[in-house]
Amino acid sequence: MAQVLEFKLPDLGEGLTEAEIVRWLVQVGDVVAIDQPVVEVETAKAMVEVPCPYGGVVTARFGEEGTELPVGAPLLTVAVGAPSPDSSGEDSEGSGNVLVGYGTSEAPARRRRVRPAAPNAGTNGAASGGTNTGPSAAPNGAPRAGAPHAERVARPVGTAAGHGTEAPPAGEPVREDGPVPVISPLVRRLARENGLDLRELHGSGPDGLILRADVEYALRAAETRRTAQPTAPAPAPAPAQGPIRSSAPAAGIRVPLKGVRGAVADKLSRSRREIPDATCWVDADATELMRARTAMNAAGGPKISLLALLARICTAALARFPELNSTVDMEAREVVQLEQVHLGFAAQTERGLVVPVVRDAHARDAESLTAEFARLTEAARAGSLTPAELTGGTFTLNNYGVFGVDGSTPIINHPEAAMLGVGRIIPKPWVHEGELAVRQVVELALTFDHRVCDGGTAGGFLRYVADCIENPAVLLRTL
């Protein structure tokens, strides 16, 4: 007999608690294979195609395109065939996927039997042949598969779907014990900070999951009830009120801070809030570095990028000044110096600014760095970077010279301790060997966390980088 298995949105990377459905790749009734991508979602870090660990017939989808779902919320249900007699109730094969938090190397623990759809059970699954369960409850009080959870309206206990105070509908009793259906820590924090008991809420998400919108609605409803309560007349006249200001939103185009833009806003704000940063600058004569690159590329073989040479200089400088390849653990009140250099670099895309990470940059030569920069840049433009390729950096190189500007004050990519900014390389008057000459000059800016080092260390790092740019032969001492 066929079984209906529920596939939930997996954990797509560190720190990610939700994702937005961009495009469904399957329809209800489609046959899917194990590990076949079924939906394209956008997280705060990347666009990701999510593969399904089950093979069978799609019986229901949860969420329309543009809907945000928390990690752990149901994505779809799949009807799979009955296990063979010799399988002892276990699946004969599983998913080979390695997305964080899911996989089917073992038989899935949650299983539901296929039930014929009852009349008026109008979900996607019912429209495709009635593979969703009917209105009756599942055994042991479990939520029924494929029920139209998305159509429920969240409300506090004792408040109906509107702003009235009617009792909740039958079948939705006050939750007195058992786990509270909340996944997002942001939702829990919002409720805790406002003194709201989550056990008194009925979630509007799948399986009664409590979403952030549910908490915000409950807080607004509580505020409405407080302001609507009659108050005893004051013995003295109230003081005159000041001018009444309109609460109407300001005119203009409103762009939601979500996806990549929202993640950038949150990270940069946190950096400015938590890191006491300082910036130092220096101009460098890059003429010899440009000549060295020309000579390298004339010798045959893969072309070496300027960014790769700058990255190689950075890793050599970090070996001399390891304080800048570190992070601060405020709970332990320790500075943690890191052995590996995972070099992030800023890449501007149509979806916004992203920072791909080159793993073990300190162990790569110029050719390997060039190839990895090219691969990650192409993936960033295509929107196909994985969360692993966007996290874990220890130092960032920001080449804003490609935008035609000379200088900037970079914002540190939290929780890193420093970022090197590189402006455009342009001809400028420069005193060279005692004479005025036109040379290729670049402005360098180092922003660093003042908790990890003082200005002497930061200045030494920046001066070494400038020396390597002006005289690349300096690097030979470290090769």
Rounded Cα–Cα distance for residues 420 and 424 (Å): 13
Tokens of 75: 């994505």
From CA 341, how far away is CA 329, in angstroms rounded? 18
Q: What are phi and psi of 76, to 5 degrees?
A: -160, 170
List, for residues 32-56, the tens digit of each pLDDT value: 998 899 998 887 667 778 889 889 9
- The arithmetic mean of pLDDT across residues 421-431, rounded, is 95
Q: Are strands 343-345 and 395-398 parallel, antiparallel or unpaired?
A: parallel
Q: What is the pLDDT of residues 372-405, one digit of tens each?
A: 999 999 998 888 888 889 889 999 999 999 889 9
Residue that wins the pLDDT comparison between 346 and 157: 346
* Beta-carbon count within 10 A of 180 CB: 16
* Active-site entry in 202, 214, 454, 467: 454
Average pLDDT over residues 298-312: 92
- DSSP string of 197-250, one letter each residue: -GGGEE--SGGGPPPHHHHHHHHHHHHHHHHHS--PPPSSPPPPP-PPPP-SPP
The verdict on whether omega for the bond into residue 51 sits within 30 degrees of 0, i.e. cis, is no
Cα–Cα dist 479/467, whole Å: 16
Give catalytic status of residue 454 as yes or no. Answer: yes
Q: How many helices (H) and strands (E) does the chain have?
A: 8, 22
Query: Which residue out of 163, 197, 360, 450 is catalytically annotated?
Result: 450
Selected residue with higher pLDDT from 387 and 322: 322
* Most confident region among 85-89, 93-97, 114-118, 177-181 by mean pLDDT: 177-181
Pick from 99, 174, 116, 181: nearest CA to 143? 181
Reply yes or no on whether 277 is catalytic: no
According to the model, what pLDDT value does residue 180 have? Answer: 65
Q: What is the pLDDT of residues 126-159, one digit of tens each?
A: 334 444 444 443 444 444 444 334 333 444 443 4
The CA distance from 172 to 155, in Å, is 11
Other beta carbons less than 10 A from residue 459's beta carbon: 16
Average predicted confidence (pLDDT) for the chain: 77
> Can you read off the two tokens belonging to residue 243?
């001018």
